[in-house]
């Protein structure tokens, strides 16, 4: 059984009944796809740079990458490649003066190592990927932990779709780190870099945002 990305699960909800059935049946036979939830290689320039800028709390990395991509844009003649560079550049400009400190705890903030073996969660019998860019610890009254996941899609995600990323991110922290740390829902955050919108787990709880991960996975399982 291959691993599913959150993007695939979101896309499943928009398929026709016939396409949903085909997708579900193919989970056991399709080859592993080399695609991550952030959007694969297409968005790697902006996602990796935003991730590094968050880690260092340094916006100069954004501007450096913009200049680099603008040079590459001028040098290539292929329309698809030019479009890719252009879209990555447009996103980076949105973060040129962004205040990353809003997502960074103030007390003894420390980014910790992630392990690929922990990226797969069992959700009602299906293997689903949770691949945040950063997991970090900090101190309040106790040792606490949080994580941030930067994602991109051409038209962006709706709030309920973004909530699916935050939901599995919280489960990822709970599964792998809850024995040693208190999970802080304020710092369990998914960020749609296209819309520059973030969603924490605490906001999901506070506003009662609909969570559709379990119901969608159950629908897939019924069709398998």
State the Cα–Cα distance between residues 164 and 136, nearest whole angstrom: 21
The pLDDT confidence band at residue 18, using thresholds 50, 70 and 90, is very high
CA angle (196, 199, 203) in 5-degree steps: 145
The pLDDT confidence band at residue 22, using thresholds 50, 70 and 90, is very high
Task: Tell me if 38 sits within 8 A of 152, measured CB to CB.
Answer: yes
Q: What is the pLDDT of residue 58?
A: 95
Dump pLDDT digits (tens) for 150-171: 999 999 999 999 999 999 999 9
Q: What is the pLDDT of residue 2?
A: 86
Of 34-43, 85-94, 134-143, the range with the lowest mean pLDDT is 34-43
Q: CA of 88: how far to CAs of 66, 70, 107, 152, in Å?
A: 8, 10, 33, 10
Q: What is the pLDDT of residue 65?
A: 98
Task: Tell me if 173 sits within 8 A of 183, measured CB to CB.
Answer: yes
**φ and ψ of 143, to 5 deg:** -70, 125
> What average pLDDT does the segment 171-177 reach?
96
Work out the percent of the chain whose per-residue pLDDT is above 90: 88
Q: What is the pLDDT of residue 140?
A: 86
Which of helix, strand or coil describes residue 7? helix
Instruction: For the beta carbon of residue 164, count every other beta carbon within 10 angstroms.
Output: 25
Q: By CB neighbour count within 10 A (0-12 exposed, 13-18 middle, 19+ buried), where does 48 fall?
A: middle
H helix or E strand, kind and range, residue 199? strand 197-200
pTM, entire model: 0.93
State the Cα–Cα distance between residues 127 and 130, nearest whole angstrom: 10
Segments making up each domain of the chain, as ranges: 6-39+101-223, 40-100
Work out the percent of the chain whose per-residue pLDDT is above 70: 95
State the Cα–Cα distance between residues 110 and 102, nearest whole angstrom: 15
Q: What is the pLDDT of residue 38?
A: 54
Nearest CA to 154 out of 71, 216, 90, 94 is that of 90
Length of the chain counted residue by residue: 224
């Amino acid at each position: 059984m291959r691993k599913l990305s959150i993007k695939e699960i979101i896309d499943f909800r928009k398929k026709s009944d016939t396409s949903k059935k085909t997708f579900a049946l193919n989970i056991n036979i399709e080859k592993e796809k080399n695609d991550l939830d952030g959007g694969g290689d297409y968005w790697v320039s902006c996602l990796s740079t935003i991730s590094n800028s968050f880690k260092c709390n340094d916006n100069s990395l954004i501007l450096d990458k913009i200049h680099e991509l603008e040079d590459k844009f001028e040098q290539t003649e292929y329309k698809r490649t030019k479009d890719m560079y252009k879209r990555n550049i447009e996103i980076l400009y949105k973060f040129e003066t962004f205040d990353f400190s809003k997502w960074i705890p103030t007390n003894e903030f420390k980014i910790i190592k992630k392990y690929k073996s922990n990226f797969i969660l069992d959700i009602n019998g299906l293997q689903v990927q949770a691949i945040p860019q950063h997991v970090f610890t900090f101190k309040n009254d106790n040792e606490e932990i949080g994580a941030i996941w930067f994602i991109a899609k051409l038209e962006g995600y709706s709030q309920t779709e973004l909530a699916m990323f935050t939901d599995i991110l919280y489960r990822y922290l709970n599964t792998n780190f809850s024995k040693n740390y208190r999970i802080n829902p304020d710092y369990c955050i998914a960020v749609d870099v296209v819309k520059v919108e973030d969603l924490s787990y605490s906001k999901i709880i506070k506003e009662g945002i609909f969570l559709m991960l379990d119901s969608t996975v159950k629908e897939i399982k019924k069709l398998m």
